[in-house]
Amino acid sequence: MWRRIFVVFWGAIVLAMPAGLRAQNAGEPVPGQRLFETHCAACHGPHGEGGKGPTLAQPSLPRAGDDASLRRIIQDGINGTEMPPARLHSNEIAQVAVYVRSLGSLPPDPVSGDAARGEKLFLTKAGCAVCHTIHGHGGAFGPDLSDIGLRRSAPYLRRALADPGAEVPQSYSAFRADVNLPLNFLYVRAVTRDGAEIDGVRVNEDTFSIQIRDASGHVYSFFKAELRELHKEFGKSPMPSYAAALSKDELDDLVAFLVTLRERK
């Protein structure tokens, strides 16, 4: 009898442990981990640290405030983005959701570099503020970076600085009014009937018209019927590479600053 009581008591303790700790003690993946590694890690990183997809290793997920929302996103995907519906059974989706939640208890990856120096680089030598906004200050040509540290990991940010075009989502086909610029980002080139060429980022679009912002911040509005050509440059970025423009230490500092940006004010 005492043996049975001990087994039940010990089982209750194990179930009360954080998922990551149970896996460490048992030496085996927790339920949902292998499913995550198979279906999710290619975009979100093997530990949810982020990559092509957003960072999941954080206590609060912007799109999934509760477990039901998280399961729904895993099941249905996110329309208009590169997040596809999961080809999993409902019980497998529930396991993945539990594992994703457990990632929020992991400590953040250490980042080398000095964030204060990185902020100065952002505003001066790197010139990032010419195109990007932080908390309402800066340019509007590129995506708002006010919460980029919440959405993207340090390795992703470093890759994006070195090779911007490689990290631009390539599957967007339609403008969505319910999401912000990062999810609508598309570089376009328009040619009017009189031969004028306009290059810039899409600001708005519907079936009949499109609005484009050029690098100077000027916004052009066209009816599509007025255009001779309209080229949508999926996967292309107007952002220059910083691989040669900044030293390794400067890149470290800039990334260290960007990962501190975690909320919109």
Residue 80 has what pLDDT?
65
The token duo for 150 is 């919440």
Residue 16 has what pLDDT?
42
Give dist(CA 26, CA 33) in Å, integer: 14
Residue 147 has what pLDDT?
87
List Cβ neighbours of 215 (8 Å cut-off, separation of 6 or more).
131, 141, 199, 200, 238
Residue 184 has what pLDDT?
67
Average pLDDT by stretches of 10, the chain with 265 residues: 44 43 54 92 86 80 87 88 88 94 77 94 95 91 87 86 77 55 76 94 90 91 94 85 95 95 75
Q: H or E segment at 150?
A: helix 148-151
Residue 182 has what pLDDT?
55
Residue 94 has what pLDDT?
94
CA terminus-to-terminus distance, the chain: 59
Residue 69 has what pLDDT?
93
Residue 73 has what pLDDT?
94
Going along the chain from its start, the domains and CATH numbers come out as 2-103 (1.10.760.10), 115-168+239-258 (1.10.760.10), 187-233 (2.30.30.100)
